[in-house]
Structures are given as C-alpha cells and as structure tokens.
Amino acid sequence: MAEVVDLAKRLMAAPSVTPARGSVFDAFAEALTGIGFTVERFMDGTGDDIVENCLAVRRGPPGSRHFAFAGHLDVVPPGDGWASGAFEPEVRGGLLYGRGAVDMKGAIAAMMAAAGEIPQEAGTVSFIITGDEEGPALHGTRALIEHMASRGLQPDLCLVGEPTSVNRLGDMMKIGRRGSVNIWLSVEGSQGHVAYPHLAENPIPKLVAMLAELEALVLDEGTDWFQPSNLEITDLHVGNPAHNVIPARAEARISIRFNDLHSGASFSQKIGEIAARHGGIARPITSGEPFLTPPGAFSAMIAEAVLAETGIDPEPSTTGGTSDARFLRSVCPVIEFGLVNATMHKCDEAVAIDDLYTLSNIYRRIAIAALAQPGG
C-alpha cells in the first residue's frame, strides 16, 4: 500500500468541487483495488446534480464482524488567494497544502493506508464514500445506504472521518450532532402608494413582529450531551426598489440547530403556528435530526487508540454542524473522528504531515479493535 502522504496527494490533485465524480474516484478505486477491495461505483441524481458514490468492500471470514469507514471526496470551491494551486498539493514546512487536506481527503487517505495494514482474516472492512456531502447531500450517503441494503451489507460499527479535532489531533471526537431545520417565512400584503396607506397593506411590520417573537424564544437549556438549541435569522428580503411604494410581499429565512429535546417536525409545527398568527406562512426543510451514540464500547475503542498514539484522551462532543453521520446512524452506531479542523473551507487549507501518519495508525487500531469485538 502506498504511504499516506502519497495517497492524500493523489486524491487532492483531482479537482472535486461538489458534486464530485470522475478522476478523484478513479484514484480512490485504483488504490483500494490494489489491496483486495471490491469497488462498486454508481451515479445518482439528475442533470447538474449527478454525483458519484462508491462502496468498497473487502470481506473477511464468514460470520466475522464488519467495520466501515465513511466520508466524502467532494470539496467546497477553493476561492481566491491561495499561495499555491488549490488542486496542486504541495508540502511546505511540514504541512501538506491543498483543498481537501483536512476536509476530508487527508482523512480518507489515512483510512486507506490503515486498511492496507488490517489483516483480511480480522473481518470485513468497507468504505462508504460519497461525492455529495458539501452540497445538498440528496444523492450521496442516503443512496449509498440503499445500495448497501440491496447488497445485504450491515456494518457493526462506522467511523466517519470528519475533521473533529480542534487544537491538536485527538482532542475531540463527535458522538452525536444536533439536528438542523431551515424555514422560509413569507407575509403577503397589498401594494400601494405610501401616501395612501389605507389603500394598501404593508407586510413588513407583520414580518418584523413575527421575527421579533421568534428571536425572543428560549428553545431549551440544553441536555446532558447537547448544547442549547439556537434559532438564527439568516435572511431578510423585500426587494422593493421604489421609495414611495408599499411592497406586496416580505420574506425571511431562519435556521434552527436543535438538540434531542426536539425534532424537525416539532419545530416546523411551532414556527408554522407563530407565522400564522402574524398572517404569514412557513415552509420548512429539515436536513437532519439529532442523534447520539452514547459513550460506551465504541467511544472507548477510539479513546484508547488516540491515547496510545498521541497521549491525548479525546473529549466526546456533539458540537458543530451536521455531517453524513446523521444518515449513517440509521445503519449502525457511528462516531466521527479526524484531523484538526482549523483550516477547513479556508484558503491554504493544510494538514500536518505527522498528523496524517498518526491518524492512519489511530484508524488501524480502531478498526482492528472493532473487528475483534465479540458478536460478529
């Protein structure tokens, strides 16, 4: 198996702005095929939203346990201001620079290097890899889950390689995530001249009152493992170019990140009722429900592997945004652990070379420990 830095460079050199397909999956599949994995690639979606997904499996002895690595090969757009090419990986000062270095081609390279050192007799190892995580996430991991089910594949445990570390590699793992719902709000009025307000109906005061009520809500005080839910106003739009016209419509958007005291449906209903009281309507889209993998055997395996390689005992956390773990939790227990996230989505995204080697060792330890557990 090629060394982890070479694997990371191969993946990073393939442009894969979401939705990803093509060359980056070529590099991924070629490396895994070389160490005995059966690689299945398939497309999902339509038009400009077509994405590529990949399920790679190396089966162990009959009845053995199944451990899955999961992640994404798509990246966010590079933006301007890079010191070197965003898709021309370069090592400078002990760091590997390039888009995807930490989120999350570097972690996938570490998984691949680790897989090459796991004996096949230890059990079944799989990779659940999508090209649709940084975008809408409509045609990625969910399609992979359906594909796995059609193949009769059921991992016992799954590790997602999101960049969870904060200050040093190993200081945090994610044992859960809050849910997310975005809600579009609108109030209809009646257009008219500002000098004749009695002949018009201004929707803006109604929308402002609605937003004031929403902003004043105290959603909860948090739970044992989750921070308090929060509601943020993320857009306000009227689009009225005339200074002497009362507009006919006013719109806003809110985003709620919520803990396990709530659901997307409960917030959709609550916000809908508030909007209706102010003469408006609400159109919600829930992108994920909260989930928790309670501390136990799986988190202990990860903690032991991290401690052995770094001397750090990782903090179990549920902070941060959403990830594809929100889908995978329906398949098996899932925990996220990966590189330091300080440069993700930034220009000059970079990973420490030493961290790539250390992470590969950590992933190898975790997988071998997971496959050795009884009950396969």
Query: Which domains, from first to last, does the chain contain?
Result: 4-177+290-372 (3.40.630.10), 179-288 (3.30.70.360)
- C-alpha–C-alpha distance, residues 290 and 257, integer Å: 9
The pLDDT value recorded for residue 119 is 96
Tokens 């929060």 found at:
230
pLDDT tens for the 376 residues of the chain, in order: 469 999 999 999 999 999 999 999 999 999 999 999 999 999 999 888 899 999 999 999 999 999 999 999 999 999 999 999 999 999 999 999 999 999 999 999 999 999 999 999 999 999 999 999 998 898 999 999 999 999 999 999 999 999 999 999 999 999 999 999 999 999 999 999 999 999 999 999 999 999 999 999 999 999 999 999 999 999 999 999 999 999 999 999 999 999 999 999 999 999 999 999 999 999 999 988 999 999 999 999 999 999 999 999 999 999 988 899 999 999 999 999 999 999 999 999 999 999 999 999 999 999 999 999 986 4
Do the Cβ atoms of 156 and 67 come closer than 8 Å? yes
Tokens 């021309």 found at:
88
Do the Cβ atoms of 337 and 301 come closer than 8 Å? no
Do the Cβ atoms of 371 and 115 come closer than 8 Å? no
Strands annotated E in 145-273: 157-160, 172-174, 176-177, 179-188, 192-193, 230-237, 245-246, 249-258
Q: What DSSP state is assigned to residue 121?
A: G
The pLDDT value recorded for residue 322 is 87
The pLDDT value recorded for residue 49 is 86
Contacts of 241 (CB under 8 A, 6+ apart): none
Q: Is 120 exposed, middle or buried (0-12, 13-18, 19+ CB in 10 A)?
A: middle
The pLDDT value recorded for residue 375 is 65
Contacts of 95 (CB under 8 A, 6+ apart): 350, 351, 352, 353
DSSP string for 291-313: EE--SSHHHHHHHHHHHHHHS--
Count, in order, helices (H) and strands (E) of the chain. 9, 19
Run of H or E residues at 73: none
How many angstroms separate the Cα of 330 from the Cα of each of 156, 323, 340?
Answer: 12, 13, 27
* Of the candidates 124, 122, 130, 108, the residue with the CA atom closest to the CA atom of residue 156: 124
- Long-range CB contact pairs, 34-37, < 8 A, 24+: 34/1, 35/1, 35/115, 35/116, 36/120, 37/115, 37/125, 37/127
How many angstroms separate the Cα of 63 from the Cα of each of 59, 126, 254?
Answer: 10, 15, 48
- C-alpha–C-alpha distance, residues 129 and 39, integer Å: 11
The pLDDT value recorded for residue 222 is 97
Q: What DSSP state is assigned to residue 281?
A: E
- C-alpha–C-alpha distance, residues 40 and 54, integer Å: 6
SS3 content of the chain, % helix, strand, coil (to 5): 30, 25, 45
Helix residue ranges per DSSP H, the chain? 4-12, 23-33, 105-115, 141-150, 204-215, 264-277, 297-310, 325-328, 353-372
Residues designated as active site: 74, 133
The pLDDT value recorded for residue 23 is 97
- C-alpha–C-alpha distance, residues 173 and 286, integer Å: 24
